[in-house]
Amino acid sequence: MERFASESEALAHTLAGVLAEKLERKSNFFKENCVRNTCYVRMNRYPPCPKPSEVYGLMPHTDSDFLTILYQDQVGGLQLIKDNRWVAVKPNPRALIINIGDLFQAWSNGMYKSVEHRVMTNPTVERFSTAYFLCPSYDAVIECSGDCPSYRNFSFREFRQQVQDDVKKLGYKVGLPRFSNHLY
């Protein structure tokens, strides 16, 4: 567990640095802003579900972080949206899955997309996954890049609070559209 966290931490920083360089932005942003006390590991357990077509393992969502490193076991069930269709992510015990999260989408001005994903249930087999979430400190400000930023600047604290408020009031996460500079 400790090992997964520390190896994921290193990998997440390497990947984030490379992605930042592609945007010609400072790659040390993550080293400076993504500190240990906000990054976290989540272990998911999905018990068998007798009515898989009626119950999600995990509702469709995007992750509220910079990027996620996910390990899923051989059972499968993870799906992501590609060209408006749900596509299954084939289990591969030798591979890690990297998801871009909301913060990277904002920081890159939409160059990188926070991918919508969900988990389907399995009628007979239990499933496990482990995910590492690369997050900035609560005070870190996410500045959208470019001359025509699609999102206003916001702190991670503000983003989290908004997500929590929406989930409480509306029952679902609105996410980045709340911080859009464009009215629609």
Q: How far is the CB of 11 from ligand OGA (least distance, A)?
A: 17
Residue with structure tokens 């500045």? 143
Contact 30, 16 (CB under 8 A): yes
DSSP collapsed to 3 states, the chain: CHHHHHHHHHHHHHHHHHHHHHCCCCCCHHHHHCCCCCCEEEEEEECCCCCCCCCEEEEEECCCCCEEEEEECCCCCEEEEECCEEEECCCCCCCCEEEECHHHHHHCCCCCCCCCEEEECCCCCCEEEEEEEECCCCCCEECCCCCCCCECCEEHHHHHHHHHHHHHHHCCCCCHHHHECCCC
Q: Does 117 bind ligand OGA (CB under 6 A)?
A: yes
- Which does residue 78 bind out of Ni ion, ligand OGA, none, counting CB within 5 to 8 angstroms by kind? ligand OGA
Active site residue 42: no
Residue 44 contact, options Ni ion, ligand OGA, none, Cβ 5-8 Å cut-off depending on partner type: ligand OGA
The pattern of x and - marking residues 31 through 50 that bind ligand OGA according to CB under 6 A reads -----------x-x------
**Of the listed 127, 152, 160, 178, which one is catalytic?**
127
For residues 72 and 144, which CB has a smaller minimum distance to ligand OGA in the complex?
72
- Name the residue among 70, 57, 60 with its Cα closest to residue 127: 57
Nearer to ligand OGA, 58 or 174 (CB): 58
> Smallest gap, in angstroms, from Cβ of residue 99 to ligand OGA?
7
Segment contacting ligand OGA by CB under 6 A, of 25-33, 70-78, 103-111, 154-162: 70-78
Give the residue, chosen from 5, 58, 115, 125, that forms a contact with ligand OGA under the rule CB under 6 A: 58
Instruction: Name which of 18 and 88 has its Cβ closer to ligand OGA.
Output: 88
* Sites of contact with ligand OGA (CB under 6 A): 42, 44, 58, 63, 70, 72, 78, 117, 119, 129, 131
Active site positions, annotated: 127
